[in-house]
């Protein structure tokens, strides 16, 4: 039975970081305690880009290598896994909020676009029924095209633009729970 379970769960891929001191991971201008600090931009970019190279379903683990002199006299290390998980949970919440605002803006754009399209359609019908010459047909077609062009942005939001933000949410969710192992080098 154990052999079957081992075969079903693939071995996690490893992302490794070698540091000379734990503070290299964190923003040096942030005065917060260790477990609440912002990550350094370069460290975050490296971790996120490394995780982004693998499929989101692939199990991963992050190994941080530190020199032995960075551990305290009791052998304790500052809680780097918790600090990383806190930071990426914060980034996840930030992107989820961004996605909510993005969809809210999309709904507003959709309502404006539909109202404009309706107005253009009504004006087109009026131009085609009240005035009967070539200019009214050109104006009618122009109004129809302008009305549909106004729908471009809402359609772009709901069809394409939300997907990268959602992918980033999934990536940060994975990073907020990734196993972090701190080893001496």
Q: How many Å apart are CA 128 and CA 118, to the nearest integer?
A: 15
pLDDT at 127: 82
Q: How far apart are CA 176 and CA 178, in angstroms?
A: 6
Phi/psi of residue 95, each to 5°?
Answer: -75, -35
- CA dist., res. 109 & res. 150, Å (int): 9
> Which residues, including other chains, have CB under 8 Å from residue 151's CB and lie 6 or more apart?
110, 113, 114, 117
Predicted model pTM: 0.78
Q: Is residue 94 over pLDDT 50? A: yes
**Mean pLDDT, residues 27-38 taken together:** 62
- Quote the CA–CA distance of 93 and 101 in Å, as a whole number: 12
Whole-number pLDDT of residue 138: 85
Report CA dihedral (4, 6, 9, 15) to the nearest 10 degrees.
-170
pLDDT digits (tens, 9 = 90+) for 39-77: 888 999 999 999 999 999 999 999 999 888 876 644 556
The closest of 46, 80, 76 to 181, measured between CA atoms, is 80
Q: How far apart are CA 118 and CA 124, in angstroms?
A: 10
Mean pLDDT, the chain, integer: 86
Bridge partners, 17 (sequence order): 64
In angstroms, the Cα distances linking 25 to 18, 52, 144 are 10, 19, 55
Overall average pLDDT of the 120-146 stretch? 85
Count of H-run helices and E-run strands, the chain: 6, 3
Helix (H) / strand (E) containing 93: helix 80-130
């Amino acid at each position: 039975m154990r052999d079957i379970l081992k075969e079903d769960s693939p071995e996690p891929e490893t992302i490794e970081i070698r540091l000379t001191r734990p503070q290299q991971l964190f923003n040096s201008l942030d005065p917060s305690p260790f477990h609440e600090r912002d990550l350094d931009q370069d460290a975050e970019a490296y971790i996120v880009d490394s995780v982004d190279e693998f499929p989101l379903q692939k199990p991963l683990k992050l190994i941080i290598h530190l020199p032995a002199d960075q551990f305290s006299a009791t052998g304790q290390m500052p809680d780097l896994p918790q600090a990383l998980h806190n930071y990426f949970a914060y980034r996840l919440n930030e992107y989820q909020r961004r996605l909510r605002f993005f969809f809210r803006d999309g709904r507003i754009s959709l309502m404006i676009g539909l109202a404009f399209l309706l107005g253009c359609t009504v004006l087109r019908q009026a131009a085609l029924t009240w005035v009967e010459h070539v200019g009214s047909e050109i104006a009618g077609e122009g109004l129809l095209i302008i009305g549909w062009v106004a729908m471009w942005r809402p359609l772009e939001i709901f069809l394409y633009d939300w997907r990268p933000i959602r992918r980033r949410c999934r990536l940060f969710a994975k990073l907020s729970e990734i196993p972090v192992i701190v080893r001496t080098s």
